[in-house]
Structure 1
Amino acid sequence: MAGPSPNLYSFSNNDALAHQLRPYVLRCQNAALTRHNSFRLAVSGGSLPVVLAKALLAPGDGSPEDTVLFSKWEIFFADERAVPLDHEDSNYRLLKEELLSKIPAELGQPRVHPIDADHVNDEDPQELADLYQEELMKIFAAKDSVKLPVFDLILLGCGPDGHTCSLFPGHELLREKDAWVASLTDSPKPPPKRITLTLPVVTHAQAIAFVATGGGKKDIMKQIFDLEEGRSLPSSLINQGAGEKVSWFTDHAAVDGVAFPRRGSL
């Protein structure tokens, strides 16, 4: 893999992974608070919210470095399905059930930015994407004109086909250069109508972390990290575009047979 390489971490199980994900996220939080007194992150769905909850809701050591300051967090969605917020396919609902509803009051509550529920039933999800981009512009471009938002952290999953966010292999959205948020009506995975952050927005973040676990991921992980044929996969494009800003948190099963050098701890 030419250029600065991503960091590949591998752990024995999900508990060990979550234990290491916590200090990584909190370092991103603390650096962001130093920069601009808020922590702006985007999250995806899948198994990520479960691992995130395990990492963040675990008891800390009481030090300032290990304290989750949820009241300073602004949470956005790396992608979302064009469904009501209480629908079983909603990434917002998943995050709410797995993490937001379990945050103890004394830790504070993050400010969450869901999609506009009034437009989830539109025939074309473009309006949904436009409104979400406007929401991002309020936060990231309030003072001046910026070409791309700079998230402090984007947390992603990786599908068995190498997709991430709602950026799918071979899809025309991979060539989008200008929009911050794009819509699609032809997702290979149901539901078909979705919105997603675009590739330039993801690679422009201060830090990007993937969580990929289970033996079902080992074939695609080998393609992403070892094989030339995997270089056009969305997850691989993020590795290439963001290099050392990218960290992969995996279990041993997901990287079984992967030759790319991995690390056991941060």
Structure 2
Amino acid sequence: MASSPRHFSAPLRALLLSPSLRKPPRIPLRTSLFSQPLMHKALAFSTQIRGVSGSRRVSWKTEASMSEAATEKGKRGAEVFDSEEDLSVSLAKYTADIADKFSKEKRSFTVVLSGGSLIKSLRKLAEPPYIDSVDWSSWHIFWADERVVPKDHDDSNYKLAFDGFLSKIPILPGNVYSINDALPAEGAADDYETCLKHLVTSGVISVSAATGLPKFDLMLLGMGPDGNVASLFPGHPLVKEKEKWVTFIKDSPKPPPERITFTFPVINASSHIALVVCGAGKAGPVHAAFQNSRNSSTVPVQMVAPEGELVWFLDKDAASKL
């Protein structure tokens, strides 16, 4: 099991000097419940959104075809599920397969979390068969955004992830990279970017050949009812930030006001992005996201366009306007 939150409260600059940043020894896996090793399986992509009901698949048409909604940078697809429970089962399989692929290729797996309901949807990874079959020693955990509050504060994305996921898996404490909450927002953002640069230099985080930006293996993102992703909100100047890897916001339209966030260039350098969205209250931005990105009513989620693969995990309520 993961260590308690107190192990992650030291400033990141102290963490940079810690031996824990060196690549950890590979820990023998416990016996897998699978008869065969996990294999990476990319979701199929077509000109339709696929709906999932148990083992039955149905097609969901959109006003704009998936080929129109596809980005130039990478593949885009969507899965629609009858329930959040079914979504969670599929998300666990998808995440575990990608983790297995990268762990075997480069002996590390870099995964970025966000807050909100996403953490609940990851719960199946902490259950059999994944708790026993995943190579947790290869995982390195980051946050797409964080509220600048103490780690034991109810608004903390770290606390949310720790309570709902990290405390339930055997993650190595040195592989969990939380922000230095002792710093003000600007300092915390700069400190986190420094940490990322160190991990790029040390080879833990890959580099995009196209942009030179950090290339995370998997970014797990949620979406707000206004179409925001991370802490990039509609109409806010940070949506257009192109220079910084990590920046800060002091006037968030949602409390708490002070946050740090990855910028879109870093988000879009990812190998894989899963956008996990549930609930009828988010159906409007989901619908907008599948329309032509030149539309004047662009919402931030429409700007998610990774170099690699983008897959939407939607429950039927979130997909109700497609």
Same fold (TM > 0.5): yes
Preserved CA contact (<8 Å) 1:6 1:247: yes
**Which residue, out of 28, 51, 65, partners 2:98?**
28
Preserved CA contact (<8 Å) 1:81 1:194: yes
Correspondence list, 1:159-238, <5 A: 159-226=224-291, 229=295, 232-238=298-304
**Which residue, out of 254, 257, 264, partners 2:321?**
257
The whole-number CA distance in structure 2 between the counterparts of 1:178 and 1:35 is 30
Match of 1:59 in 2: 128
The whole-number CA distance in structure 2 between the counterparts of 1:244 and 1:157 is 18
The whole-number CA distance in structure 1 between the counterparts of 2:129 and 2:296 is 39
TM-score (norm 2): 0.71
Preserved CA contact (<8 Å) 2:222 2:275: yes
TM-score (norm 1): 0.85
The whole-number CA distance in structure 2 between the counterparts of 1:178 and 1:108 is 32
Correspondence list, 1:133-144, <5 A: 133-142=193-202
**How far off is 1:2 after superposition?**
5.3
Aligned AA for 1:156? L
In the alignment, structure 2 segments of 5+ residues that lack a partner are 1-68
The whole-number CA distance in structure 2 between the counterparts of 1:102 and 1:164 is 26
Aligned AA for 1:221? V
Match of 1:100 in 2: 166
**How far off is 1:96 after superposition?**
0.5
The whole-number CA distance in structure 2 between the counterparts of 1:230 and 1:118 is 40
Preserved CA contact (<8 Å) 1:141 1:149: no
Correspondence list, 1:31-110, <5 A: 31-53=101-123, 55-60=124-129, 67-103=133-169, 107-109=170-172
**How far off is 1:244 after superposition?**
6.1
Instruction: Rate the CA distance shift 1:244–1:40 in 2: closer, same or farther, 3 A.
Output: closer
The whole-number CA distance in structure 2 between the counterparts of 1:50 and 1:217 is 17
Match of 1:116 in 2: 180
**How far off is 1:108 after superposition?**
4.9
Match of 1:264 in 2: none
Instruction: Rate the CA distance shift 1:88–1:150 in 2: closer, same or farther, 3 A.
Output: same
SS at match of 2:78: strand
SS at match of 1:118: coil
Correspondence list, 1:6-21, <5 A: 6-21=76-91
**How far off is 1:30 after superposition?**
1.6
The whole-number CA distance in structure 1 between the counterparts of 2:312 and 2:153 is 29
In the alignment, structure 1 segments of 5+ residues that lack a partner are 259-266
Aligned AA for 1:233? V
**How far off is 1:235 after superposition?**
0.8
SS at match of 1:226: coil
Match of 1:157 in 2: 222
- Displaced runs of 4+ in structure 1, greater than 6 A? none
The whole-number CA distance in structure 2 between the counterparts of 1:23 and 1:2 is 24
Identity over aligned residues, as a percent? Answer: 39
Preserved CA contact (<8 Å) 2:277 2:318: yes
**How far off is 1:257 after superposition?**
2.3
Instruction: Rate the CA distance shift 1:230–1:81 in 2: closer, same or farther, 3 A.
Output: farther
Preserved CA contact (<8 Å) 2:271 2:306: no
**How far off is 1:18 after superposition?**
1.0
The whole-number CA distance in structure 2 between the counterparts of 1:230 and 1:37 is 44
Preserved CA contact (<8 Å) 2:100 2:134: no
- Higher helix proportion, which one? 1
